Chain A
């Protein structure tokens, strides 16, 4: 499978714990996005990268959230001191800046449940 892969698929954690998610984009894609989706809502933009540079981070995003893409390949999204309101599906997507940059290829997502 050469699509976008996310790990883990599901994560259950207790409030106050830290969690980290990983995303492996399509290999030739230099853009990588993180979105969050709750039931009945569309994907909410969190942040995105072009290669290793983080171009934008949502102003709605708490300082507890941080994302990295150290070598311009895979990315990690960390949530510190999780809260119940963080429970959501976290989606990763990638695209090619040079052609069809807006054609996002999505992963299956990581479903986070904070107890």
Chain B
């Protein structure tokens, strides 16, 4: 079974402060991990994935297999980062994508 846990429902930070959105997963094999984002009145969309090792809009995420975590980080929060963030996992062999419950990021001006 594959499971994704996001312990925080809401994270409020001031503009310019660092951001860390937590994600832990449960999967017996080697998963693919992703972060999806939903801005107000927009569709859910892919933000980044661990295999790409990319930085999107200043966000990065490192897969830590020992801690089974995939936390999303940004050094300096911007107001436009306010959104719902969902951590997601896909199992080996092109399996389905499973989502966490989401964290609402609120950046205070």
Contact = CB atoms under 8 A, between A and B. Distances in A.
Contacts, number: 49
A105 B43 CA distance: 8
Contact of A33 (B6, B97, B100): B97
Contact of B90 (A40, A97, A102): A102
A54 to B, nearest CB: 12
Interface in B63-109: 86, 88, 90, 94, 96-102
Contact of B44 (A44, A91, A101): A91
Interface residues of A, number: 23
A106 interface: yes
Contacts of B94: 97, 101
B49 A106 contact: no
Nearest to B46: A103
Given A42-B101, A43-B99, A102 B43 contact: no
Nearest to A97: B94
A111 to B, nearest CB: 14
Interface of B: 4, 6, 9, 32, 34, 36, 43-46, 49, 86, 88, 90, 94, 96-102
